[in-house]
Amino acid sequence: MTSSVPRLVIAAPSSGSGKTTVATGLMAALAARGLAVSPHKVGPDYIDPGYHALASGRVGRNLDAYLCGPELVAPLFLHGARGCDIAVVEGVMGMFDGAAGEGELASTAHVAKLLRAPVVLVVDASSQSRSVAALVHGFASWDPEVRVGGVILNKVASDRHEALLREALEAAGVPVFGVLRRVSQVDTPSRHLGLVPVAERRGAAVDAVAAMAAQVERGCDLEGLMGLARGAGALACAAWDAAEVLRSSPPPPLPVPSPGAAAPSTPSGGSAPRPPSALRGPRPQTPPEGAPPDRLVVAVAGGPAFTFSYAEHSELLAAAGAEVVPFDPLRDEQLPDGTAGLVIGGGFPEVYAAELSANEPLRKAVSALAETGAPVAAECAGLLYLCRELDGQPMCGVLDASARMEERLTLGYRDAVAVSDSSLAVAGTRMRGHEFHRTVVEPEAGDAAAWGVRVPRRRLEGFVQRGVHASYLHTHWASVPGVARRFVERCRTS
């Protein structure tokens, strides 16, 4: 099967060049023209896809060749781009920067090659003129398999500055698809983990996206960019499908642990309008046709405190027979009716610690659910929420651990192996994950740890007790879809 969706990859020589402004503004400008735009982000980042969703009116999706493997990049792209007129893929860091020590793996250039997509290079031209041609020439010629189709010049100071830049690039034979002047209103606020998520800014985020769209509309050749996108090569693969991958993946290899006991530990082996619902985090998902008739609710935390979630997780849970129901731990005092399992992803509970703590009825409900042995999957922010306390504020108390903010940033990809049987995986299951936080949990691992990690140091990490699996690692379940099926099966039997 071959598929061809017009598409562009927006890359840059380095972080801070303006990729997010250009990519988000382009998505919004194209959507304002009535096009169905599919938004994508290279790498594990959760925050940029929120702005992409706001710009396009569709779920922002990640393309991560490290977390999911290179073989899944094109199928996941086609899954997200179903029915769309064009796709815009925002890169990560500098174009050739990928997983540390892994060559091109998971870089923007790598993903562009996997997608057979032309690249538009966004260049911060604020401190250069003729030298821009040498810079662009280097990026365009470094890897002949990467097709740099042109550039967009960002932070251009004046008409004279623009003329010098265009003259240099014309001599180099590189098309200029846009020139963006310095405009402060397109800036978006940042804090300790990057941009402030859309769900926390709401009206201000809408205004920022509208400003990005206006700047791109004003400064870029949209017809030229669409023509470049139509030149993308055909992809010889089928679109990823949650139900299909669950049918073809092996069933959980061991019996589901009894709900009353802690899992055993084993040694480590080393400006377009968009639906208001898009601001609320995970979307409701219903089981597919043919799923068991009983209502099996998996509650998924959302709202401003828990904004980090990959859309494919909810889609896999639904394909496995669950009814996925979002809830907001800042506002909802009870879990959704009939909750049989709970997923708490990443986010910023440290920013909302007081408010989360003040919602005592929900904290007690979460603790009571965990006490029954029901499956609870918690990643990063979810781990903090399950602790006894966070920065001195009482949390759910499911785990006998304390969490606090710290200055040091923990960031990077991780190879992990499950060291305890849990509601997500059996011991020995290998997965790849990503850490991104400025907090510390003490102790680092429970009596039954979740993962064994070797890099950047060999350690046990996370907690497994009863049905709870809590860890700092963000994982992408599309890489091991049996995780979702095992979780739902545990929901049925706990």
Whole-number Cα distances in Å, 109 to 39, 209, 485: 17, 26, 33
Residues 9 and 242: their CA atoms lie apart, in Å, by 25
- Print burial letters for 72-91: b (CB count within 10 Å at least 16), e (below 16): bbbbbbbbbbeebbbbbbbb
Residues 384 and 357: their CA atoms lie apart, in Å, by 12
List, in order, residues 6 or more apart from 150 with CB less than 8 Å away: 120, 121, 174, 175, 176, 177, 224, 228
Q: What proportions of the chain, in percent to the nearest 5, are helix, strand and coil?
A: 30, 25, 45
Tell me which residue has tokens 């504020």.
393
β-pairing verdict for 474-475 and 459-461? unpaired
Residue from 68, 380, 387, 491 carrying the catalytic annotation:
380
Active-site annotation holds for 380: yes
Crossing angle between the packed helical segments 131-142 and 159-172, to the nearest 10 degrees: 40
Paired tokens of 345: 């992803």
Paired tokens of 446: 């429970």
Residues 172 and 130: their CA atoms lie apart, in Å, by 10
Nearest partner of 272 among 464, 74, 31, judged by Cα = 31
Report the catalytic residues.
Answer: 380
